[in-house]
Structures are given as structure tokens and as C-alpha cells.
Amino acid sequence: MVVAIYHFLHQAGIRMKVFAFTIYTCGILAYLGMMLMESGVGLGAQLALRAIPETARELPTQYYLGLRSSWVGTTATILLNLVYWILWLGTGYLLFFWKKPKQILRLHD
């Protein structure tokens, strides 16, 4: 997407930019919907694993649940969600607000 913005969409008119960003937003919202559905399945699986008595849990299950409830699991979840929105905002910025430099300096000329 960044290459398309740099080479094609940066030179396009505002209607084409709005159209491309709208299509991109629809795609990113569809992906968000899939992520929310899968996170619901993951949450249900974690609840089912936690319902198993601790004495009957296998070692990989204990490690998985421990990792997901630790600061590492929380930080990973926050960062993955943050990166998703930064990508969307960054694409919007590059498309509508970023100005191409007037002259690119060449070091070897």
C-alpha cells in the first residue's frame, strides 16, 4: 500500500485518494471483523482451559494460560492492536497530508 501511495496515489486527484482510502478502510474493517470473531473463539478456548482443574491441566496448558495472563501476554495484545490502528492512520496521513519533497539530494553526483 505504501508503494502504491508513493508512486500512484500521491499524484492522483482527491476523488481517487478518497475512493482508494474508502476501499482500504472497508478491507481493514473486514479484517477487524475477522480478528474480533477469532478473538471470541480464543477467549472461549481460554475460558474452557481455565475451567479444567489445576491438578488435571497438562504442562503446556499451564504455560499457555500463565503466559496469556502475564505482562508479556497483555503487552503483546496491546501492541498488536496499536500497530493495527497505526497502520491505518499512517496510510491516511501518507495519502492525504504527506508532501513529496521538492528536491531529493543526491550524494554521489
**Tens of pLDDT, residues 35-76:** 999 989 989 999 999 999 988 989 999 999 999 999 999 999
DSSP designation for 10: T
What pTM, to 2 d.p., does this model score?
0.69
DSSP designation for 102: S
The residue ranges of every structural domain in the chain are 2-96
**Tens of pLDDT, residues 4-42:** 666 777 778 889 889 988 999 999 999 999 999 998 998
83-95: b (≥16 Cβ within 10 Å) or e: eeeeebeebbeeb
DSSP for 39-83, written as a single string:
HHHHHHHHHHHHHS-GGG--HHHHHHHHHHHSHHHHHHHHHHHHH
